Amino acid sequence: MVSSTTRQTATDLDVAAIRADFPVLNQEVRPGAERLSFLDSAASSQKPASVIETLDDYYRRYNANIHRGVYQLSEEATQRYEAARHLVADFINAPSARECIFVRNTTEAINLVAHSWGRRNVNAGDVVVLTVMEHHSNLVPWQLLAEEQGAELAFVRMTPEGRLDLDHLDTLLTREPKLVAFSHVSNALGTIHDAVEITRRAKVAGATVLIDGAQSVPHLPVDVQSLGCDFLAFSGHKMLGPMGSGVLWGRRELLEAMPPFMGGGSMIRKVELSGSTWADVPAKFEAGTPAVGDAIGLGAAVEYLSELGMDRVQAHEHGLAGYAFARLGEVPELTIHGPKMTEGRAAVFSFSLGDVHPHDVAAILDSENIAVRAGHHCCQPLMRELGDVATTRASFYVYNDHDDINRLVAGLGRVRQIFGSA
Amino acid sequence: MVSSTTRQTATDLDVAAIRADFPVLNQEVRPGAERLSFLDSAASSQKPASVIETLDDYYRRYNANIHRGVYQLSEEATQRYEAARHLVADFINAPSARECIFVRNTTEAINLVAHSWGRRNVNAGDVVVLTVMEHHSNLVPWQLLAEEQGAELAFVRMTPEGRLDLDHLDTLLTREPKLVAFSHVSNALGTIHDAVEITRRAKVAGATVLIDGAQSVPHLPVDVQSLGCDFLAFSGHKMLGPMGSGVLWGRRELLEAMPPFMGGGSMIRKVELSGSTWADVPAKFEAGTPAVGDAIGLGAAVEYLSELGMDRVQAHEHGLAGYAFARLGEVPELTIHGPKMTEGRAAVFSFSLGDVHPHDVAAILDSENIAVRAGHHCCQPLMRELGDVATTRASFYVYNDHDDINRLVAGLGRVRQIFGSA
Amino acid sequence: MADSLYKEIILDHYRSPRNKGRLDPADYSHEDVNPLCGDEIVLDLRVKDGIVSEVAFEGRGCAISQAATSILTEMIEGRTVEEVKALTKDDLLEELSVPISPARMKCALLGLKCLKAGIYGVGHMHDDDL
Amino acid sequence: MADSLYKEIILDHYRSPRNKGRLDPADYSHEDVNPLCGDEIVLDLRVKDGIVSEVAFEGRGCAISQAATSILTEMIEGRTVEEVKALTKDDLLEELSVPISPARMKCALLGLKCLKAGIYGVGHMHDDDL
Ligand SMILES: Cc1ncc(COP(=O)(O)O)c(C=O)c1O
Ligand SMILES: Cc1ncc(COP(=O)(O)O)c(C=O)c1O
């Protein structure tokens, strides 16, 4: 289903050709206005026609509940649903597709682990290590767990530059935490953490390791086997897939030992009124009718990204990050939060513009058809570290180019003009 | 978005016009073969073009994360997402749209209540009353809860005819259960339970009442205020909506008093490393990026059904049930499970055909382009009551007519022929 | 859109907010936060003989939330408590006289939420109830 | 499709299953259930001098699961345990000689799952490992 535009030959992504694949980016958002510069992919990406058409095809041709129907539509739906699981597994180099559980989003994936693995393995007095930079979705589930179990949360500090303080990690690891959970890439600062090294140290200390891959899987080559982690959570909707799609990968031994999260249809082996036994993974964790079309759509998204090549996606965004640094640096009174260099940094820029509130920045940019995000980015504790309530964030993806950055810079000039700081 | 075919004038549904709205039903499943008779809507319904187009329009025009973006796409997505919530609320006559929580399916809705309300309100020694006819999704979550809390489950018996034994309910109610949870319509037997009366008695006994509306909301007019229940769970995908859509309705006081189910983005008011406070309902229960398009698609499904009129949907299916009774009665060796009359019965027929296994029945029907379901219908305890492992089930919806039933009967003749019982 | 939203009235109240500060002691006081962006406002009220004699607010937030709260304080000073209770969000939006999109509604209403929650003595007010 | 699936070989084994019953005592015994439809099979094995001397099965299920298990018992009688361990699902499917769609695969393989789980002494076998 991926468009036939040839991109294989070039080393760089052909952004014009890619953009042509995304209907949202090719519409007139406001009559007569400039095209949309969509700079909020870290919240949720746009979807290529191949993904939209996969959904459409599903609903028009073979929509049915899976795993149960002995009829043709259901057989096709089941096969494609499971094929999507294999595509996802290959994409993150999972040893087995059965280790990939379809969920709604990263949040559900992490809550699944917190409920199922957590309540069995984290007990009174146990320590769970997180970082001060976590998204609420990788913080609140552990707060809820810790409160319930009487466990304690400890937070790896960050350096003034917005990187994790690995010495502090080592200190916390001496407390022999049951779990170390951290985001691979910070959605607020763009920092790419050294996930391999953090995982290695955590494993040496005997911890189970969960990586929040919401901002890494869409943007870098991610290989669970070379990461060495135990769980990886990510959102399909941030990587060109449908809303409502996400994945939890877990090591088979762990998943098999875990009790169910939700109970219901499809996750059982045998049900009696007095008690039940559970189906094999992944079915054990997919209770009820899944979002079949969305999972299949995620498969199409993975195919699209694979065709682009994740190495090239990463290189493309690295290039954008460099250009964004240079251009944003020209805007007076603009402060970029997080690492001040492109190394170990994703194409996600949180910034402050003088004392203009991010909502006002975003609203004025919106009037120029530039979509950025303003707020705490679900990282209130981190915002407090930055001494701010909110920032403006521009995040980039495969369909963005230098022109988007130029427009952003021009738009910021307009903001300064309106707020009288120019 | 609903097709403009006029149906308002007739009292009966115009099935030909309706069928024309469903792309799946207008394709050639096998070259040269007869049209598809889709008789598995109880598992998941097909979707009208208006729903498919709503999804398509969402992804092509205004896909974005909601509640957060200060830009046009996100504003439109947010508005339509919330408009869908209002449509759903009106559909079940909820006092407030804020009482409607978007979930993936009925299963998640019930697990949400079991985790959040249940762990706070059901304690050691407490009794939860269910029925022997529950779908696994309204049984397993309570088994998990009961095991965890040391509570006890008690099951309302059924009469030989497949109805609930209300005298037995009264007996169980003397034990002052904390919760009574039951399905409004049995997905395996088609029995329509007297939900108003069951709820009334349960409330008199002081119980909280959850109704599993997976098989009622799509097929009958359902009004939470006249039901008098505390929670209603249902699946959007069984009522013409997208896969991945479902709803939990709950009384506001209850929802407001309940702790969160999943933690993460969007469900918080204020997050500190040391603890968090929660957003208002429904946000408190919608952690992470929702399936935005699917919820909006469910809104379109509700509009479609409302235009047909749920009274007429019910009358149509009642007519089909009568015809199915008559015609299936002509098939030798066929036993219909459940109530032997159309009163208090939905257009769902579970049956056995001599000793031919349901899988074989379904496979042979499939070869004639008739899609039925074979299995335990996620009701293993009920199957045991029936003395069977599995049944064949044909379930009907707005796009089915007498011709579907005629074809089913002919197909069953073919089964008997192959298995040599003719 | 930017031009219609960031009119002089908004920018003026944003740059020079009226009644900025705290009242200590206050008869009514309430703090609320916009969970979407973390903006916080605390609003204090003194009431004498059933009339709002003094009002002050503090907090940080966008031009819309700050200007709207500033304008709100001007609207209620000298009014009776009953009049303040009867104040609706439409009254405030009219006074703002700029088009508030749904996404910015929470910003525009944050001060009013504090006022209402404070004067009714409830923990928290929902937008729909304003 | 019905015609190609319900060939004489399937219907014959279904109507007259070979080796139906239980062995007591048995050297290996295993019971499994198809969670999708609730079908159950229990399969017993006697082994003498490393050779399957007797095999029997009981259970209820569709024509495919019953016939496949009946055919399976014929395939393994008189074989060495090593040969039985080496048996793959493809061997069984070939012997069945009818087209098994993915949805029916679990039916066709239920007996083989019992056999493998029993002989390897594991609680439960996954389809993919057959
Ligand atoms: C690092 C990180 N973790 C978790 C999430 C939550 O993702 P979702 O809303 O898809 O559950 C996000 C996205 O906002 C994120 O950036
Ligand atoms: C009565 C009943 N309850 C619950 C469910 C579960 O629905 P879902 O799979 O959408 O969660 C179903 C559907 O199979 C049902 O029929």
- Residue B352 near residue A54 (C-beta atoms within 8 A): no
- Nearest to A180, CA basis, from A221, A212, A223: A212
Coil, strand, or helix at residue B397?
coil
Is residue D7 domain-resident?
Answer: yes
Q: Which residue has the tokens 């009220």?
A: C45
pLDDT of residue B389: 80
| Confidence at D1, pLDDT banded by 50, 70, 90 | low
CATH number, domain of C65, equals 3.90.1010.10
Taking the mean position of all CA atoms in its chain, how far away is CA B309? 18
| Per-residue model confidence as pLDDT tens digits over A304-318 | 999 999 999 999 999
pLDDT of residue B174: 98
What are the phi and psi torsion angles at B215 (to 5°)? -105, 0
Is residue D127 domain-resident?
Answer: no
Higher pLDDT, A231 or C121: A231
Give the DSSP letter of residue A345: B
- Given a cut of 90, whether residue A291 has pLDDT beyond it is yes
* Mean pLDDT of all residues in A378-389: 90
Coil, strand, or helix at residue B202?
helix
- Residue C104 to chain B, least CA–CA distance (Å): 7
Question: Residue whose CA is closest, atom 12 of ligand 2?
Answer: B214
Neighbours of A168 (CB within 10 A): 18
Q: Which of A29, A353, A359 to mutate to test the interface with C (most CBs of C within 10 A)?
A: A359
A315 touches chain B (CB under 8 A): no
| Confidence at B99, pLDDT banded by 50, 70, 90 | very high
Chain A: list its partners (3+ Cβ pairs within 8 Å): B, C, D
Whole-number Å distance between alpha carbons of B218 and B237:
9
Nearest CB among D33, D36, D104 relative to A68 is that of D36
| Per-residue model confidence as pLDDT tens digits over D70-113 | 999 999 999 999 999 999 999 999 999 999 988 888 899 999 99
CA distances from A201 to A93, A301, D33 (A): 22, 33, 43
Pocket test for ligand 1, best of A41, A45, A107, A110 (most atoms within 8 A of CB): A107
Nearest CB among C1, C60, C63 relative to A360 is that of C63
- Given a cut of 90, whether residue A84 has pLDDT beyond it is yes
Q: Sort out which chain D residues have CB atoms less than 8 A from A280's CB and list them.
A: 124, 126
Nearest CB among B75, B279, B280 relative to C102 is that of B75
Cβ of A383 and C11 within 8 Å?
Answer: no
What is the Å distance from ligand 1's center to A134 Cα? 10
Higher pLDDT, B293 or C38: B293
B–A contact: 3+ Cβ pairs < 8 A: yes
Is residue C128 domain-resident?
Answer: no
| Confidence at D3, pLDDT banded by 50, 70, 90 | low
- Given a cut of 90, whether residue A15 has pLDDT beyond it is yes
- Nearest to A376, CA basis, from C31, C14, C61: C61
pLDDT of residue A9: 41
pLDDT of residue A421: 63
Chain C: list its partners (3+ Cβ pairs within 8 Å): A, B
Q: Is the peptide bond before C25 cis (omega within 30 degrees of 0)?
A: yes
B17: left (phi over 0), alpha (psi -120 to 50) or beta: alpha
B278 touches chain D (CB under 8 A): no
* Mean pLDDT of all residues in B338-345: 93
Q: Sort out which chain A residues have CB atoms less than 8 A from D103's CB and list them.
A: 69-70, 74-75, 78
pLDDT of residue C1: 53
What is the Å distance from ligand 2's center to B213 Cα? 9
Antiparallel, parallel or unpaired: β B152-156 and B268-272? unpaired
Tokens standing for B333? 């060796």
- Given a cut of 60, whether residue C25 has pLDDT beyond it is yes
- Given a cut of 90, whether residue A155 has pLDDT beyond it is yes
pLDDT of residue A6: 43
- Given a cut of 90, whether residue A387 has pLDDT beyond it is no
pLDDT of residue D60: 85
- Residue B387 to chain A, least CA–CA distance (Å): 14
Indicate whether residue A46 lines ligand 1 (CB < 6 A): no
What is the Å distance from ligand 2's center to B42 Cα? 8
The pTM of the full predicted model, rounded to 2 decimals, is 0.94
pLDDT averaged over chain A? 95
Question: Residue whose CA is closest, atom 10 of ligand 2?
Answer: B105
Residue positions of A annotated with a catalytic role: 378
Enumerate residues 72 to 91 of chain B having a beta carbon within 8 A of any beta carbon in chain C. 74-75, 78-79
- Given a cut of 60, whether residue A44 has pLDDT beyond it is yes
Beta bridge partners of D80: D51
| Per-residue model confidence as pLDDT tens digits over B302-322 | 999 999 999 999 999 999 999
- Given a cut of 80, whether residue B150 has pLDDT beyond it is yes
Indicate whether residue B376 lines ligand 2 (CB < 6 A): no
pLDDT of residue D104: 87
A269 touches chain D (CB under 8 A): yes
Nearest CB among B70, B96, B280 relative to C104 is that of B70
- Given a cut of 90, whether residue A272 has pLDDT beyond it is yes
The full set of domains in chain B, from first to last, is 53-306 (3.40.640.10), 309-418 (3.90.1150.10)
- Nearest to D67, CA basis, from D31, D105, D16, D118: D16
Cβ of B358 and D5 within 8 Å?
Answer: no
Q: Which domain holds residue D21?
A: 2-122
pLDDT of residue B2: 43
| Confidence at C55, pLDDT banded by 50, 70, 90 | very high
Q: Sort out which chain B residues have CB atoms less than 8 A from A283's CB and list them.
A: none
| Per-residue model confidence as pLDDT tens digits over A207-219 | 999 999 999 999 9
Q: Sort out which chain A residues have CB atoms less than 8 A from B293's CB and list them.
A: 242-244
* Mean pLDDT of all residues in C112-116: 95
* Mean pLDDT of all residues in A372-385: 92
Q: Specify the number of domains making up chain D.
A: 1
* Mean pLDDT of all residues in B373-386: 92
Whole-number Å distance between alpha carbons of A337 and A388:
11
Q: What is the DSSP string of D28-56?
A: EEEEEE-TTT--EEEEEEEEETTEEEEEE
* Mean pLDDT of all residues in D121-128: 78
Question: Residue whose CA is closest, atom 15 of ligand 2?
Answer: B214
pLDDT averaged over chain B? 95
Tokens standing for B232? 């209603």
| Confidence at D123, pLDDT banded by 50, 70, 90 | confident
Tokens standing for C36? 């979407």
Cβ of B60 and A265 within 8 Å?
Answer: no
* Mean pLDDT of all residues in B401-417: 97
Q: Could you give the residue ranges of the DSSP H alpha helices within A355-401? A: 358-367, 380-386
Is residue D63 domain-resident?
Answer: yes
Is residue C110 domain-resident?
Answer: yes
Q: Sort out which chain A residues have CB atoms less than 8 A from B72's CB and list them.
A: 29-30, 366, 369, 371
- Given a cut of 90, whether residue B28 has pLDDT beyond it is no
Give burial (CB, 10 Å; 0-12/13-18/19+) of B28: exposed
Nearest CB among A140, A265, A375 relative to B378 is that of A265
pLDDT of residue B167: 98
Q: Which amino acid appears at position A64 of this protein?
A: A
Is residue D112 domain-resident?
Answer: yes
pLDDT of residue C129: 77
pLDDT of residue C3: 67
- Given a cut of 90, whether residue A203 has pLDDT beyond it is yes
What are the phi and psi torsion angles at A329 (to 5°)? -60, -20
pLDDT of residue A329: 96
Coil, strand, or helix at residue A232?
strand
- Given a cut of 90, whether residue D57 has pLDDT beyond it is yes
pLDDT of residue A169: 98
B–C contact: 3+ Cβ pairs < 8 A: yes
Tokens standing for A139? 């913080």
What is the Å distance from ligand 2's center to A140 Cα? 29
- Residue A312 near residue A291 (C-beta atoms within 8 A): no
Whole-number Å distance between alpha carbons of A169 and A160:
16
pLDDT of residue C61: 87
Enumerate residues 359 to 378 of chain A having a beta carbon within 8 A of any beta carbon in chain C. 359-360, 363-364, 366-368, 374-376
pLDDT of residue B211: 98
